[in-house]
Amino acid sequence: MAGRTVKKDGSSWYFVLTVGKKENGKQKQIKRRGFKTKQEAIKAMNELEHSINQGTYVKPSKILYKEYLERWLEDRQTRVKKQTLETYTWLVNKHIIPALGNVELSKLNAMMIQQLLTKLTKDQSLSDENIQKVYTLINASLKQAERWGLIPKNPAFLVDRPKATKKQVKVWDVPEVTSFLEHAKGSRYYIAFLLAVTTGMRQGEILALQWKDIDFENGFLRVTQILSHDGKEILPYTKTKSGTRTIDLPDETIAELKKHKVRIAKEKLAAGPNLYTDLDLVVCSEIGTPTNAGNIRRAFNTAIEKANVSKIRFHDLRHTHATLLLKQGANPKIVAERLGHADTRITLDTYSHLLPSMQKETAKQFGRMLFGGTNSNNNSIENAK
């Protein structure tokens, strides 16, 4: 009969299972730590003992978790899109490996994983969504390690997925938008700001927009590609099926695009064919190459300071576009199509904070339609008395 011990160590539980003797006569034991409750430790011990008895026990690997993660990421290259892999690699190298990389794969436990997630939450070094991604990466990598027979069980299975607190989006009202655009007019990137406000396009979509995708005669543009996070590649747009879309433009935006095209043509002529890289980009450097996202951010913040408006992110221009449309009474389906949302529910969920005021205004408009102006409605009530 194997020796079985279950004990508490601080706030967690561990077990020791004796499974025979070594060649020197000493007891051969297997120890596992990091269980939240005594019941979890007993259950894991029972499963281990059963696998040993059935001959399916996998001897823990001595490989470090960081070495395993490198191999696991290589395997991901053929399974996910390039931009997704970039995000995975960044989270692994920046946040997972520094905390857990030097732990042996077989010794990684639930408490270590929980401590990392707790620290990330307290430090606020990542958004809630990215902390969830950290958990997903750890869980997926260890699940694969279990399938490959490198560990007997995935310890992340015992850790709850972090919750994401939904943050209310920050947007500008019409006076703030007009003030910002007025003070941004001297910027090289004014056209990028204008496109974000009047189309709701993502930054990567704007920086990958080409002149061939703009129909000046009919007043619309096509979103077909996106600039990679590192700014080195223009990639076909495969974020969602709805991501590739057509967006109608205000006349004012068309007029500014025509002015901007003249400016780009002059820069191309001044640089000459030997220096200018013609990628047909609408927003580009003075020699035609893709625009650095850092330059956009700095110019954006400078214009905000000049305009003395509330500070928001470039991405919030997209939220501003959607918010102004919804407040104007635009059909949520049309707003979803302009933003490239796969489902109208995403749009309504993102901007749900607007719904109460929109409903109140809708009720007032409906009342005016049926009963006329406010005064006539009040008179009707007085007459009824």
The tokens describing 88, both together, are 């995975």
Range 306-313 average pLDDT: 95
Q: What is the pTM of this model?
A: 0.66
Range 21-46 average pLDDT: 85
Say how far apart CA 199 and CA 225 lie, in whole Å. 15
Lowest mean pLDDT among 25-39, 50-64, 323-337: 50-64
| pLDDT at residue 220 in the model | 96
- At residue 147, does pLDDT exceed 90? no
Please give the CATH architecture assigned to the domain spanning 65-158.
Orthogonal Bundle (1.10)
pLDDT, averaged across the chain: 87
Range 103-121 average pLDDT: 93
- At residue 209, does pLDDT exceed 90? yes
| pLDDT at residue 374 in the model | 52
Say how far apart CA 297 and CA 307 lie, in whole Å. 15
| pLDDT at residue 376 in the model | 45
Say how far apart CA 104 and CA 194 lie, in whole Å. 52
Question: Are the C-beta atoms of residues 15 and 4 closer than 8 Å to each other?
Answer: yes
pLDDT in tens, 246-257: 999 999 999 999
| pLDDT at residue 380 in the model | 44
Which residue has better confidence, 35 or 262? 262
| pLDDT at residue 241 in the model | 58
Say how far apart CA 284 and CA 292 lie, in whole Å. 9
pLDDT in tens, 61-71: 788 999 999 98
- At residue 40, does pLDDT exceed 70? yes
238 — pLDDT class (breaks 50, 70, 90)? low
How many beta carbons lie within 10 A of that of residue 27, not counting itself?
Answer: 12
Q: Where are the beta strands (DSSP E) in the chain?
A: 4-9, 12-21, 27-35, 214-215, 220-223, 225-227, 234-236, 245-248
Range 139-147 average pLDDT: 91
Question: Are the C-beta atoms of residues 66 and 102 closer than 8 Å to each other?
Answer: yes
The closest of 141, 146, 148, 147 to 88, measured between CA atoms, is: 141
Question: Are the C-beta atoms of residues 282 and 222 closer than 8 Å to each other?
Answer: no
239 — pLDDT class (breaks 50, 70, 90)? low
> Which CATH superfamily is 174-345 part of?
Intergrase catalytic core (1.10.443.10)
Which residue has better confidence, 354 or 169? 169
Range 277-297 average pLDDT: 94
Starting at the earlier edge strand, list the strands of the sheet with 220-223.
Answer: 214-215, 220-223, 245-248
pLDDT in tens, 320-362: 999 999 888 888 899 999 999 888 888 888 887 766 666 677 7
| pLDDT at residue 344 in the model | 85
- At residue 1, does pLDDT exceed 50? no
- At residue 45, does pLDDT exceed 70? yes
